Amino acid sequence: MLERSDLAMVLAIKETGSLIGAARRLGVSGAAITKRLAQVEAVMAVRLFRRTTRSVVPTPEGDLYCELAMQVLAGFASLESRVADFSTTPVGLVRLACNMGFGRQWLAPIVDGFSRRYPSVRVELYLTNRLPDLQAEGFDAAVWLWQPSTTRWIVQTLAKNNRVMVASHAYLQEAGTPRNLDDLRNHTCLLMLERDMPANIWRLSRVGPQASEEPIVDVRVSGVLSSNHGEVLRDWALSGAGIALRPYWDVQAHIQQGALVHVLSDYAKVDSDVQWIAPYRPHLPERVKLLKEFIELRLRDAAWIA
């Protein structure tokens, strides 16, 4: 007899593309996955995956199994949430994904506060630099800093946020303070390695009263230090290594304390709004709704919100 865990296992194999990857995700051994998959295929009397030394690819029967498994698991989740909502006290599990830096610095304390208010709700917070396939991987939602490329999810803005340019007093005393965007070409900049944008191009927009009067400007900058980790760039800026373009939530406290200076404050990169991203579902569990509202309320009070 097939079990609910078997559906999740087969989906995990397809999503990770390997038996070992599925084992890691599910927290079991590779041998256990191999054995259980063989048992599932024996019960179904079909082969679900073509296995080679390099890859595990679903057969047509495997693709159909995965499609139906997602529907069945969604049905289980809907059943559980509807029954749980009859209780006056919210209960159950919420699985939430978030970007690494923002999740550690801001979302984790908010989730802790939510747990204290609703102790019967369990929250699994996954911090990752890759936006998961929410429905396929069993997430209720993600708190994410950029718009997803797909249009099949519900996206709502929780809080506005820009990336701003900052530098230390020591750096500015030595190199001078930039007065306009052209000045950036003569400064040492700290470069963020991102997939969708060259590290040496800062796409900046005018902010404030004159925001709508000027087009977006691509400014070419240069520097000897670059990283794919935002907190590294912030720490380099604090040490006086150059000018960094960082989300305001990451540097607001340092600006307020005087450790960093917000330079060229009329310009920012306006691509970092905090988004609530969720797969479509006909019935939103009360516990998920309460968590979303709690996060939204706490972010309204955050010091970096303009």
Closest CA to 14 of 60, 46, 53, 45: 60
CB atoms within 10 A of CB 67: 11
**Chain position carrying tokens 């908010």:** 110
- Compute CA 60 distance to the chain's CA centroid, rounded to the nearest angstrom: 32
State the average pLDDT over residues 81-92: 67
One-character DSSP codes across 164-175: EEEE-HHHHHHH
For a pLDDT cut of 70, what percent of the chain falls above it?
91
State the average pLDDT over residues 121-145: 90
- Return d(Cα 12, Cα 32) in angstroms, integer: 14
129 touches 100 (CB < 8 A): yes
- Return d(Cα 202, Cα 219) in angstroms, integer: 5
Report pLDDT for 77. 66
Highest mean pLDDT pick, 117-126, 148-157, 203-212: 117-126
Q: Where are the domains of the chain?
A: 4-82, 88-161+273-300, 163-268
3-state secondary structure at position 193? coil
**C-beta contacts of 64-73 below 8 A and 24+ residues apart:** 65/10, 66/10, 66/11, 66/14, 69/7, 69/8, 69/10, 69/11, 70/11, 70/135, 70/136, 72/7, 73/4, 73/7, 73/8, 73/11, 73/138
Report pLDDT for 304. 66
State the average pLDDT over residues 229-238: 95
Q: What is the CA radius of gyration of the chain?
A: 23
pLDDT above 70: residue 129: yes
State the average pLDDT over residues 9-38: 85
Lowest model confidence (mean pLDDT) among 189-193, 207-211, 230-234: 207-211
pLDDT grade, residue 170 (50/70/90)? very high
pLDDT above 90: residue 268: yes
Per residue in 97-109, pLDDT tens? 999 999 999 999 9
pLDDT grade, residue 85 (50/70/90)? low
H helices present in 90-183, as ranges:
100-102, 108-117, 169-175
Residue 258, both tokens: 């005087």
pLDDT above 60: residue 43: yes
Residues whose CB falls within 8 Å of the CB of residue 281, separated by 6 or more in sequence, listed in order: 74, 77, 78
- Return d(Cα 8, Cα 18) in angstroms, integer: 14
pLDDT above 60: residue 191: yes
pLDDT grade, residue 23 (50/70/90)? confident
Per residue in 200-216, pLDDT tens? 999 999 887 666 666 78
Backbone torsions φ then ψ of 226, nearest 5 degrees = -145, 155
pLDDT grade, residue 305 (50/70/90)? low
Class of domain 4-82 (CATH, top level): mainly alpha
Cα dihedral: 23, 130, 136, 271 (round 10): 170
State the average pLDDT over residues 142-146: 90
9 touches 66 (CB < 8 A): no
pLDDT above 60: residue 306: no
pLDDT above 90: residue 4: no
Report pLDDT for 87. 55
pLDDT above 60: residue 86: no
* Common-topology check for domains 88-161+273-300 and 163-268: yes
Residues whose CB falls within 8 Å of the CB of residue 86, separated by 6 or more in sequence, listed in order: none
Instruction: Confirm or reject CATH 3.40.190.10 for domain 88-161+273-300, answering yes or no.
Output: yes
Class of domain 163-268 (CATH, top level): alpha beta
Which strands, in side-by-side order, build the sheet including 243-247?
A: 226-227, 189-192, 243-247, 163-167, 261-263
